[in-house]
Amino acid sequence: SYSKNQYLLPKEEKLYKFYNIKDQEFSIVLSEGREMIEEGLGKEASNLFYILTLLDNQNLDAWMGLGMALFSVGLSDDNQSQDSFERALNAFWRAHILDPSNIVPPIAMIESLIQLHRYQDAYKIVQEIVGEKLDHKVEEILNILNQEIKQKV
C-alpha cells in the first residue's frame, strides 16, 4: 500500500544519494564548476552549482560555488549585475549560516555588498562578523569602508 512518506528521505540524507551519486562524483562536479568559473563560464557554472545546492543544501562548497559563479556573472554582465550580486550575496549568506566560524563567506558577502554600493551593510558585517575573527585587519577595512560611506553620503 502507498505511504506518503515512502519516498521522503531522512532529513540528514543527501538528495544526491537518492540518485545513486557517490560523494566522490559530487566532489568532481564541484571541481568542474570551479574550473568553469575560471574559464569565464560564470552563467553556466551558476546553473551547475544551483543544481548542486538542490542536491545537497547543506554543502558549503556548493553554496560558495554558486555565490562565486553569480559574482563572476555580475562582474561580466552589466545588464544582470545588480541581480547577480544580490543572488551571490544570498548564496554567501547561506554558506555563512552553514559554517559561522569560516571567514570566507562573510568576506565574500562584503565584496558583494560593495559591488551593490551597500557600504553601510558591508561595514556592519565587518564590525559584527569579521571583526571578531580578524582583529589586525579590521581597522584597515573599517577605515576604507568609512571613507566610501562618507564619499557616497
Segment 15-40, tens digit of pLDDT: 666 556 777 888 899 999 999 999 99
Q: Regarding predicted confidence, which is higher, 134 or 98?
A: 98
User: pTM of the prediction?
Assistant: 0.77
Q: Which of helix, strand or coil describes residue 1? A: coil
Give CA–CA dist 23/123, Å, rounded: 38
Give CA–CA dist 78/57, Å, rounded: 29
Average pLDDT over residues 118-130: 86
Give CA–CA dist 123/116, Å, rounded: 13
Segment 131-151, tens digit of pLDDT: 666 655 566 666 777 777 776
Q: Give the count of beta carbons closer than 10 Å to the beta carbon of residue 111.
A: 17
The angle at the Cα of 115, spanning 41 to 141, to the nearest 5 degrees, equals 120
Q: Regarding predicted confidence, which is higher, 1 or 118?
A: 118
